[in-house]
Amino acid sequence: MRDHLAVSPGLWLRRWSAIDARSVLTAFADPAMTWQARESIESLDAAERWVAVQSDQWASGAAFAFAVVDGEDTVLGNVTVSAVNRRHATGWVSYWTTQSARGQGVASGACRALARWTFDDVGLFRLELGHRVNNPASCRVALAAGFVSEGIERQKLEYDGMRYDVERHARLATDEEPVLS
Ligand SMILES: CC(C)(COP(=O)(O)OP(=O)(O)OC[C@H]1O[C@@H](n2cnc3c(N)ncnc32)[C@H](O)[C@@H]1OP(=O)(O)O)[C@@H](O)C(=O)NCCC(=O)NCCS
């Protein structure tokens, strides 16, 4: 199973490492990241724990998280396949990018590469993801990475006392590779 992948010139996926904790802390300082981790990441300790969890989950096969990095190994984001279910060959995809890396195709390219890797190296068949309907950028990323919309899950998530509709997308191993725009 490869743990270092080329996405496009100057863009790579590699496993998270303990040296990335400070980059993780910086990434989570962005208010848009508030709901992207189970535990709030407001200290270096919490960021170190987050990295350690990614490593443990990789080792157990429960989830596979990659840091998205540029040619200088600067962290630009994260893509993960979690909820890996070997019985049904399914997984759940999620992603985030750092504030300064956004709007350059980083999440779309990384998500596309993650999906290909998950089909080829892990052997999963169906990948799902979901985004709040008020997160159009995430929807664009899903579509660019070949995840077809499968409809709206009404009021699926609750954050800060407010419920949100979620759009479900999925990509199958047999779907055509998305065309790069
Ligand atoms: C969503 C997120 C991952 C996108 O990352 P990114 O690296 O900027 O994504 P890309 O550059 O690959 O693509 C962004 C797309 O969203 C579009 N976009 C950006 N902001 C948008 C907005 N407010 N409304 C509509 N589209 C928007 C861009 O135009 C682009 O679409 P295009 O390729 O068709 O032009 C990033 O904004 C993020 O990390 N947000 C916080 C965490 C998060 O929401 N994660 C997803 C949870 S489901």
- 129-172: per-residue pLDDT in tens? 999 999 999 999 999 999 999 999 999 999 999 999 999 999 99
Q: What b/e string do you get for 50-72 counting C-beta neighbours within 10 Å, with b at 16 or more?
A: bbebbeebbeeeebbbbbbbeee
Q: Two tokens at 68?
A: 């998205």
Beta-ladder partners of 82 = 92
Identify the residue whose C-alpha is closest to ligand 1 atom 6: 102
In sequence order, which ranges of the chain are alpha helices (DSSP H)?
A: 21-28, 44-60, 106-117, 136-144
Task: Note the pLDDT of residue 7.
Answer: 97
Residue in the structure block whose two tokens are 């962290």: 75
- Confidence tier at 44 by pLDDT (50, 70, 90): very high
Task: Note the pLDDT of residue 123.
Answer: 98
- Confidence tier at 38 by pLDDT (50, 70, 90): confident
Residue 95 CB less than 6 A away from ligand 1 = yes
Residue in the structure block whose two tokens are 């993780």: 24
Task: Note the pLDDT of residue 109.
Answer: 98
Ligand 1, closest atom to CA 138? 1
Sign of CA dihedral 60, 61, 65, 69: positive
Sign of CA dihedral 45, 46, 47, 51: positive
Ligand 1, closest atom to CA 144? 33
- 19-28: per-residue pLDDT in tens? 999 999 999 9
pTM: 0.97
Q: What are the domain boundaries of the chain?
A: 4-172
Residue 36 CB less than 6 A away from ligand 1 = yes
Identify the residue whose C-alpha is closest to ligand 1 atom 32: 140
- 48-66: per-residue pLDDT in tens? 999 999 999 999 999 999 9
Beta-ladder partners of 14 = 4, 67
3-state SS assignment for residue 59: helix
Q: What does pLDDT average to over the chain?
A: 97
Looking at 3.20.20.140, 3.40.50.1000, 3.40.50.720, 3.40.630.30, the CATH number of the domain 4-172 comes to: 3.40.630.30
